Structure 1
Amino acid sequence: MLSLFNSKRRKAAVALVKAARARGMTVEEYAKTLSPAELARFVPQDEKPKSELLDVTRWGLPAGKEVSAAPFIADARVAEAVAAYRDGDWQPGATLLAGLGTDWDRRAFAVQQLGDAAADDDAPLKEWLASGSADAAVVNAQGLVALAWQIRTKQTPEHVSQEQWAGFFRVLEDAEAATRAATEAVPEDPTPWCTMLMVARGRQYDNEDFRTVWAELVARDPLHRFAHDQALQYWCAKWFGSHEQMFAFADEAAAKAPKLAGLTVQAAHEAEVKGVEAWKSERTQRALDVVVPWLAGEGRDHPASHRDRAYAAKALVENGRCDEAVEQFKALGTHADALLWAYSASPEREFVKTRYLACHGATRP
């Protein structure tokens, strides 16, 4: 049975029992007749389902207690380089970046992960910079951006203190200078221009100045996945765009290549967060018809696949495509660290709740 210690849970449980009795059914029988969306009405927001009506392990999914929002790096090579850096050794990271060559998406992902590690501890980075490495300059720029966002925190603007804002802008100013130095050190590399997009959003570039940075990026790689992710955030209504600009950007991106179709699904989520219905739109459904096959094929090991699977899983559940959603959750395993889940007060609970609804609506275990 649902736990009754929380008033929201109690009300949800009572409503479910009443609805079942009105139909002459047990709770278990009635629940089996509900669609995922109908069942969600009996699950309080940000609460994971605690009903014993369904065991997700029947679908080959890990138990809810195993789910974690801890950061996860699916690419083993990147994970190993980051682990070595955190142990004080920058050389595996240097070797990795040198070996990636012009695999710009994977290089950007590796730089982001190494930059996050550098934001926590810059001692290894200082040694790396002292070697004269241009790659170290690229990681340094990303690390300063990551540090700035750490200082700002993930809180909404009204909950960020004046001291945090001051530190954020101060470090971003240093990050901007470091990023420009990196663009000069590796003039053909789009990676520091991807970092500059993050600087532009943080330093509140106006639309025209942002487009100037964007032009530099696409001149080097017009299909750069992580740059498109950053630009989508800029064009969101919560930053410096609007729903119309966000969807226009996502539509244009999706038309370029299958690996960019996930932006449309991300945009749907951003719209829903603002109260605009978008999950069940024809635009989102068309995007899913591209994203799901891409994740099963060419995009299976793409560094953006972990994020795209989370958005796809949520959108598939919202559209009643639960068998497909279950497959995405199988690939996600225990990892609830994608940005999508972080919009909730408890990423793990939101992940588990959505996964539960996927299994409930699936036609087969």
Structure 2
Amino acid sequence: MSPTAPDLIRAEFDLCRQIPSLMDLRTAVRGNDWDTVEAYFDFLDDEEERAVAAHLVSDDLSSSERFLERAVADHGSPLARTLLAARYINVGWAIRSSYTAEHVSREQFQEFHAWLRRAERLLIGVCADEPAYALAWMYRLTTARGLELGASEVRRRYDRLAEHHPHHIQAQLLLLQQLCPKWGGRWEDTFGFARECMAAAPAGSHAGRLVAQAHLERWLDDSDDGPGDYLRATEVRDDILAAADRSVRHPGYRPGFHWVGDHNDFAGALSLGGHYREAAPYFRTLGDKATEYPWGYWGDQEVQFLKHRRRAMAKG
């Protein structure tokens, strides 16, 4: 069956199936092979791709915690300490859950903050030793948000990273979350930051997805009682399409490890607004490759991806 067939009956969320070279990294972690893990990260000269690889180790592989603790004890390298901190962050966030604060118990918050503080101590040490170490600064954006250190502190940390890596898409996505009202921000700042990053980045960069995510967050904020109409507006659709023209639809676009997330954000922002014809090219590029968000915002993520993909392919 062609991966773009209209009757596709499953969605592929496994990061290693989306980016096959990551399978070598997964195998190394499962085999407790630190030398191969370190060599894999050394091979990646793109900080944005290193961020995706770190996500696999810390989030996708729940067995990695003890392995990383041994790697820190044996080697103590910036990479080992950062990956262990990332794992601690994921453990803590799983305890907190994705629910809004009023649905999280005091005990959950205490455990959550304890894990983040453990991560923060490791990351502070890495940043002191290696001030330009992008991975550590990126994860310090998450610890600052989770420990409720405030938007100014998160922005300070982002600015330190951006001094050396000005177009780091994963860090930009994290700061975008902090700027949303659900974390105490304002929509003017959310959209302003997204547009600022897109304008500053080279044409064909990943930064256009920041605009798509800002619109998705705005839609979600209006959708407490069910999916709202925000994304249906013509001006919102046109803004998303203009961002895509500047990024994934630009001739200079270079997919890298982020291409699946890029296209899912645009496919989601358009199809969730009922703009199925416009969403079709992104689904066609994706085939069966899906991401948890935005499809997990409402109901089962696989069901949502397949439903919207089917409707889009029928229109486009």
TM value normalised by structure 1: 0.75
Does the 8 A contact of 1:254 with 1:260 survive in 2? yes
Q: Which residue, 96, 110, 120 being the options, matches 2:53?
A: 110
Q: One-letter code of the match for 2:94?
A: Q
Give the aligned partner of residue 301 of structure 1. 255
Aligned mates of 1:125, 1:298 — CA distance in 2: 38
Aligned mates of 2:10, 2:160 — CA distance in 1: 43
The reply to whether residue 311 of structure 1 matches residue 280 of structure 2 is: no
What's the secondary structure of 2:185's corresponding residue? coil
Q: One-letter code of the match for 1:333?
A: G
* Residue 112 (structure 1) shift: 2.2
- State how 1:243-258 maps to structure 2 within 5 Å: 243-257=187-201, 258=205
The reply to whether residue 224 of structure 1 matches residue 168 of structure 2 is: yes
Q: One-letter code of the match for 1:94?
A: E
Does the 8 A contact of 2:29 with 2:64 survive in 1? no
Give the aligned partner of residue 70 of structure 2. 127
Q: Which residue, 260, 267, 270 being the options, matches 2:207?
A: 260
Q: One-letter code of the match for 1:207?
A: A
Q: One-letter code of the match for 2:210?
A: L
The reply to whether residue 190 of structure 1 matches residue 134 of structure 2 is: yes
Give the aligned partner of residue 153 of structure 2. 209
Give the aligned partner of residue 226 of structure 2. none
Rate the CA distance shift 1:223–1:68 in 2: closer, same or farther, 3 A. Answer: closer
* Residue 204 (structure 1) shift: 0.8
The reply to whether residue 147 of structure 1 matches residue 91 of structure 2 is: yes
Does the 8 A contact of 2:240 with 2:266 survive in 1? no
* Residue 321 (structure 1) shift: 5.8
Give the aligned partner of residue 244 of structure 2. 291
* Residue 192 (structure 1) shift: 0.8
Aligned mates of 2:233, 2:35 — CA distance in 1: 47
Deviates more, 1:230-239 or 1:321-330: 321-330
Give the aligned partner of residue 41 of structure 2. 97
Give the aligned partner of residue 47 of structure 1. none
Give the aligned partner of residue 30 of structure 2. 86
Give the aligned partner of residue 326 of structure 1. 280
Aligned mates of 1:330, 1:301 — CA distance in 2: 15
* Residue 136 (structure 1) shift: 0.9
* Residue 255 (structure 1) shift: 0.9
Rate the CA distance shift 1:72–1:338 in 2: closer, same or farther, 3 A. Answer: farther
Aligned length: 305
Give the aligned partner of residue 48 of structure 1. none
Give the aligned partner of residue 11 of structure 1. none
Q: One-letter code of the match for 2:68?
A: L
Q: One-letter code of the match for 2:26?
A: V
Give the aligned partner of residue 166 of structure 1. 110
Give the aligned partner of residue 218 of structure 2. 271
Aligned mates of 1:72, 1:118 — CA distance in 2: 12
Aligned mates of 1:72, 1:156 — CA distance in 2: 30
Deviates more, 1:68-77 or 1:323-332: 68-77
- For residues 5-37 of structure 1, what are the alpha-carbon distances to aligned partners after superposition, in whole Å with 9 as ceiling and x for unaligned? xxxxxxxxxxxxxxxxxxxxxxxxxxxxxxxxx
Does the 8 A contact of 2:232 with 2:274 survive in 1? no
Unaligned runs of 5+ in 2: 223-228
- For residues 212-232 of structure 1, what are the alpha-carbon distances to aligned partners after superposition, in whole Å with 9 as ceiling and x for unaligned? 212211112111110000000
Aligned mates of 1:119, 1:174 — CA distance in 2: 17
Aligned mates of 1:117, 1:349 — CA distance in 2: 21
- For residues 105-130 of structure 1, what are the alpha-carbon distances to aligned partners after superposition, in whole Å with 9 as ceiling and x for unaligned? 11222222222256543222133221
Give the aligned partner of residue 297 of structure 2. 343
Rate the CA distance shift 1:96–1:62 in 2: closer, same or farther, 3 A. Answer: farther
Rate the CA distance shift 1:260–1:149 in 2: closer, same or farther, 3 A. Answer: same
Q: One-letter code of the match for 1:254?
A: M
Does the 8 A contact of 1:88 with 1:123 survive in 2? no
Does the 8 A contact of 1:262 with 1:308 survive in 2? yes
TM value normalised by structure 2: 0.86
Does the 8 A contact of 1:265 with 1:287 survive in 2? yes
Aligned mates of 1:86, 1:94 — CA distance in 2: 14
